[in-house]
Amino acid sequence: MKVGIIGCGNISQIYFTNSKKLSAIDLVACSDLDMEKAQGKAEEHEVEAITLEEMYSHSEIQLIINLTIPAAHYEVGKHCLENGKHVYSEKPFTMTVFEAKELNDLAKSKGLRIGSAPDTFLGGSHQACRRIIEDGYLGTITNGFAFMTCGGHESWHPAPEFYYQPGGGPLWDMGPYYITALINMLGPVKTVQAIGNIAQQHRTCTSESRHGDTIEVNVTTHYTANLQFANDAVITLITSFDVVAGPKLPNIVLNGTEASLQIPDPNGFGGEIKLGNRETGQQTYPVLYKNCDNARTLGVADMADAIENNRPHRCSAELVTHVVEVMESIDKAVETATLIKLETTCKQPAIMPVTKLNGSFE
C-alpha cells in the first residue's frame, strides 16, 4: 500500500527508516507545514517532498501517517479522511473523546480505517507477557502498578513546548504506552480515580540547543491514578515529569493469585521480563522472539496488511478511542475528585502470530 508521512519532526526518522523494512507499505512522499523539514527528510530517505494539498489529493497514496504534534492530530486526521485516505496517527490519537468519536464516525461513513500509536505492545517482550498471561501462569490477575517517572522532556527535545500544553504532560504523552500495554494484557478499563498536581508553573530547558529557555506549564505534571479494569483488576498508575532524580522503579508489575509478572518499558519493543511465584521468587524469563528492536511503524504495516486482507488491525480505532477516554477520565477525576465510569470499551487486540514475531511482514 502506498503511504505518505505528514509531520517531519523528531519522531519521523524512525518511521522513514522502518518503512523501508516493511513490505506491507511503500512510503512514497512526505509533507510538513515547514516544507524545508519535508525537503530534508525527502532527500535523506529518497521519497518525494510534496505540499499538504498535494498529499491530501494524491491519487496513489491510500494511507497517511500523521506525525504532527498532538494539537494537530485531529485536524490533520480529519483532512486525511475527508480526502479518502486511511490515517494512522502518532499518540495521543486525539485530545478529547469527542474528537475521537467524530473521526470514527467520519471513517465509518467513508469506509476508511483509523489507527494510532503506540504499536510497542506488538513487540516481542510485550507479546511474550501476553502469552504468559493467556497461558494462565499468573492465575487471576487482581492488582498491579505502573510507573512512568522522569524529570521532563525539556532536557533533550529540541521543541519541548508541546509537552506542557493540553495533549502533552506525563499522562497524555507517556500514558498511551502504559494504558495500551495494560489493555493489551488485561482488557478494557471500567472506572478511574485520580489526583494530581503541578510542581512548577515554568520550566527551564537544559538541552544543548535550548539551554536556559523558559517554558510555560499548562498541564498537570504529576498524576496518581487508580484504574479498575472490566475484569476487576485494580492497577495504580503514576505518571510524572516531576521526578528529578528518583530511583529506577519497575515499569509495570501485574500480580495474580499464582504469580507476579514484571513487564518491561512499554515505550519499547523489547526488554527484560521477570516472572515469579511463591516458590521461585522473581526470575528472568527468556524472550525468545526476535522482534524486540525499535520497530515503530509495525502498527502501520499491520493496518495496511489488515486492510488488504480484510481483517481487524491491532492499533484499532476502538482501542485508541478507549485509551483517550481513560486519559480524559483521569483528568476529569483530578478536577472533580470523583470516580469516573467509562463509556467506551474495546476488545483486547489479537495476539501476534509467532511467525510474525520472529520475522517481519515480508
Among 56, 58, 63, 70, binds ligand NAD (CB under 6 A): 70
Given the complex with ligand NAD, which of 102 and 228 has the nearer CB atom? 102
How would DSSP label each residue in 19-76?
HTT-TT-EEEEEE-SSHHHHHHHHHHHT-EE--HHHHHT-SS--EEEE-S-HHHHHHH
Of 110, 101, 103, 99, nearest to 88 by C-alpha is 103
Given the complex with ligand NAD, which of 259 and 328 has the nearer CB atom? 328
How would DSSP label each residue in 144-163?
EEEEEE-S-GGGT-SSGGGG
Give me the sheet containing 48-49, strands edge to edge.
48-49, 26-31, 2-6, 63-66, 86-89, 114-116
Decide if residue 173 touches ligand NAD (CB under 6 A).
yes
Which set of grid coordinates corresponds to residue 132?
504468559
Strand partners, 116: 89
Alpha carbon 79 to chain centroid, angstroms: 21
Among 24, 47, 67, 215, binds ligand NAD (CB under 6 A): 67
Q: Are 27 and 47 in contact (CB under 8 A)?
A: yes
Give residues 150-169 in contact with ligand NAD (rule: CB under 6 A): 159
Q: What is the nearest approach in angstroms of ligand NAD to the Cβ of residue 152?
A: 13
Nearest residue to ligand NAD, by Cβ distance, number only: 9
3-state secondary structure of 165: coil
CA distance 97 to 329: 10
Q: Are 107 and 272 in contact (CB under 8 A)?
A: no
Among 9, 123, 144, 175, binds ligand NAD (CB under 6 A): 9
Q: What is the nearest approach in angstroms of ligand NAD to the Cβ of residue 134?
A: 28
Decide if residue 72 touches ligand NAD (CB under 6 A).
yes
CA distance 115 to 321: 10
Among 10, 23, 218, 283, binds ligand NAD (CB under 6 A): 10
Among 11, 244, 288, 350, binds ligand NAD (CB under 6 A): 11
Binding-site string for ligand NAD from residue 89 to residue 108, where x marks contact by CB under 6 A and - marks none: -xx-----------------
Q: Name the segment binding ligand NAD (CB under 6 A); options: 15-23, 64-72, 325-333, 353-361.
A: 64-72
Given the complex with ligand NAD, which of 32 and 99 has the nearer CB atom? 32
Among 5, 49, 65, 69, binds ligand NAD (CB under 6 A): 69
Binding-site string for ligand NAD from residue 22 to residue 61, where x marks contact by CB under 6 A and - marks none: ----------xxx--x--------------x---------
Given the complex with ligand NAD, which of 70 and 256 has the nearer CB atom? 70
- DSSP at 121: G
Helix spans in 309-347 (H): 317-336
Residues forming the site for ligand NAD (CB under 6 A): 6-12, 32-34, 37, 52, 67-70, 72, 75-76, 90-91, 159, 173
